[in-house]
């Protein structure tokens, strides 16, 4: 029984039934409280949990219409929870749901998209019937083609832990702490073994890990990229080169040569095509800084849809290769492949440029791919040449600026593909998108909330109707979900 006088910050709520995922990996419950002022108040849970669990919660914030809470105890496990998972592996942010049965993960994600778009029923009363079944990821485990491990410490007086040389991922919710684990379900066993060898070797050098607070120490990150279809591997070791300053007793050149020789020796056992040093003096926690190629090629090559993609350390590329291939197949199907030969296609927010290149390969008449990140453009212009694609143009502009100029020049497009970043699509872009009055818009979204907002604007201000909707799981064991929506002009 809860406190009948009201609820205060830090109060404990007992035996709360977890209902569902709502947004950004947060969960929803409803409070059954004897005080009518608090009864049926919504509870937001800020940590992972399996739906239909019963939990005890600590109140972190008290709002007018909801309580923000944190789990302190699981009273009863959910029937959807996998029994006896190896707990340390779900500690990483990329696999927090690994102890939820995969078919339940898909159900949760599909329902999240349906719930997010429910407000569109006033424009599309039949919207729930427009959903196609969710598409699972072709690869459920070991699907990431890029992973970044951090060196660091884990010191906690409360937990009686003092570890000074850890390599793995940041502890969830405590960025200053690096956990020390030898394996992750995110990458295959070959990559895991490579990680373990680099980690073990680095401990033999007696050089300290980098401390984010003091900006002192040497080792910072291990980055591994492995192309799923070609199997080519790139490794990058990030370190602080200033560590050796004012340390005359240490021979910097000797230490770096020893590291270099070790990394190059790994090419005898693994299909490593590229090795980089990252001389990293950046105060931010990022692996890429002043790059030095110490072995092999500048890039590795991945293949999707009969296209080759050269990937550098800084390239934007979907981290799930098999999932990306399936996603782009679905987008092509939504676009009615048989009509593409006559289409001029605008690929807006083409941050990986991949969709635009695949449409160019499908013999669209012309593809214009628009993205504001200039560094990405150079890579993908080279990839277009590599694939002999002469019907694609790359524009380094903000989408809202490009559209205004493109329309004022009386240019046209037959198909618009919108794939905005997770946070948002600029409000100035939407009015111009509608001015094209194209026969079809395909919206690819990684955020159901902003998708719902943008679709509401489109439906409210145009004669477009939703043709079909399909969710796809690109990132198993996480809360992330992709959604493809086809909008067509009402006749």
Kindly list the catalytic residues.
Answer: 446
Residue with tokens 């459920």, as numbered in its chain: 140
CB atoms within 10 A of CB 78: 19
> Residue 174, class by beta-carbon neighbours within 10 Å (0-12 exposed, 13-18 middle, 19+ buried)?
exposed
Sign of CA dihedral 309, 314, 320, 323: negative
Distance CA 349, CA 416 (A): 11
CA 443 to chain centroid, in Å, comes to 18
Distance CA 331, CA 138 (A): 16
Residue with tokens 């048989």, as numbered in its chain: 338
Structure-block tokens of residue 243:
């560590």
Distance CA 481, CA 110 (A): 8
Structure-block tokens of residue 197:
């060898």
Structure-block tokens of residue 309:
């993609």
How is the beta sheet containing 344-348 ordered, strand by strand? 131-135, 464-472, 482-489, 440-445, 415-418, 344-348, 366-370, 392-395
Let me know: does 300 contact 279? Beta carbons within 8 Å: no
Phi, psi values for residue 43, rounded to 5°:
-120, 125
Q: How far is CA 96 from CA 316, 359, 476, in A?
A: 24, 34, 10
CA 341 to chain centroid, in Å, comes to 32
Structure-block tokens of residue 21:
């995922």
């Amino acid at each position: 029984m809860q406190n009948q006088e009201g609820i205060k910050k830090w109060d404990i709520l007992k035996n709360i039934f977890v209902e569902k995922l709502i947004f950004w990996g947060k969960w929803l419950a409803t409070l059954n409280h004897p005080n009518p002022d608090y009864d049926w108040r919504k509870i937001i849970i800020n940590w992972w949990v399996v739906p239909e669990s019963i939990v005890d919660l600590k109140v972190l914030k008290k709002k007018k219409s909801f309580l923000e809470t944190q789990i302190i105890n699981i009273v009863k496990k959910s029937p959807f929870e996998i029994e006896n998972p190896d707990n340390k592996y779900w500690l990483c942010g990329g696999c927090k749901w690994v102890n939820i049965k995969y078919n339940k993960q898909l159900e949760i994600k599909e329902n999240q998209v349906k719930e997010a778009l429910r407000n569109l029923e006033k424009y599309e009363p039949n919207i729930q019937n427009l959903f196609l079944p969710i598409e699972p990821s072709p690869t459920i485990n070991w699907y990431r083609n890029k992973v970044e491990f951090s060196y660091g410490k884990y010191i906690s007086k409360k937990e009686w832990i003092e570890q000074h040389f850890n390599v793995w991922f940041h502890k969830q919710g405590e960025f200053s702490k690096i956990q020390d684990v030898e394996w992750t379900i995110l990458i295959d066993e070959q990559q895991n073994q490579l990680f373990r060898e680099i980690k073990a070797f680095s401990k033999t050098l007696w050089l300290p890990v980098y401390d984010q607070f003091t900006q002192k120490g040497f080792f910072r990150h291990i980055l591994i990229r492995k192309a799923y279809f070609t199997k080519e591997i790139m490794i990058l070791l990030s370190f602080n080169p200033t560590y050796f300053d004012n340390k005359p007793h240490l021979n910097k050149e000797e230490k770096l040569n020893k590291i270099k020789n070790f990394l190059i020796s790994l090419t005898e056992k693994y299909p490593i095509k590229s090795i980089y040093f990252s001389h990293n003096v950046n105060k931010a926690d990022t692996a890429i800084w002043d790059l030095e190629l110490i072995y092999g090629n500048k890039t590795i090559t991945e293949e999707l849809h009969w296209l080759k993609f050269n990937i550098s350390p800084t390239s934007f590329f979907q981290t799930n290769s098999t999932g990306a291939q399936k996603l782009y197949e679905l987008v092509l199907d939504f676009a009615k492949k048989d009509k593409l030969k006559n289409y001029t296609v605008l690929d807006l927010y083409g941050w990986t440029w991949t969709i635009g290149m695949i449409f160019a390969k499908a013999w669209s008449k012309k593809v214009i791919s628009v993205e504001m990140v200039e560094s990405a453009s150079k890579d993908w212009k080279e990839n277009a040449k590599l694939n002999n694609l002469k019907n694609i143009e790359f524009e380094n502009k903000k989408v809202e600026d490009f559209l205004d100029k493109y329309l004022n020049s009386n240019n046209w497009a037959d198909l618009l593909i919108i794939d905005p970043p997770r946070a948002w699509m600029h409000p100035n872009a939407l009015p111009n998108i509608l001015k094209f009055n194209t026969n079809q818009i395909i919206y690819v979204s990684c955020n159901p909330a902003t998708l719902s907002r943008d679709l509401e604007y489109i439906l409210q201000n145009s004669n477009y109707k939703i043709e079909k909707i399909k969710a796809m799981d690109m990132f198993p064991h996480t809360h992330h979900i992709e959604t493809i929506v086809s909008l067509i002009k009402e006749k």
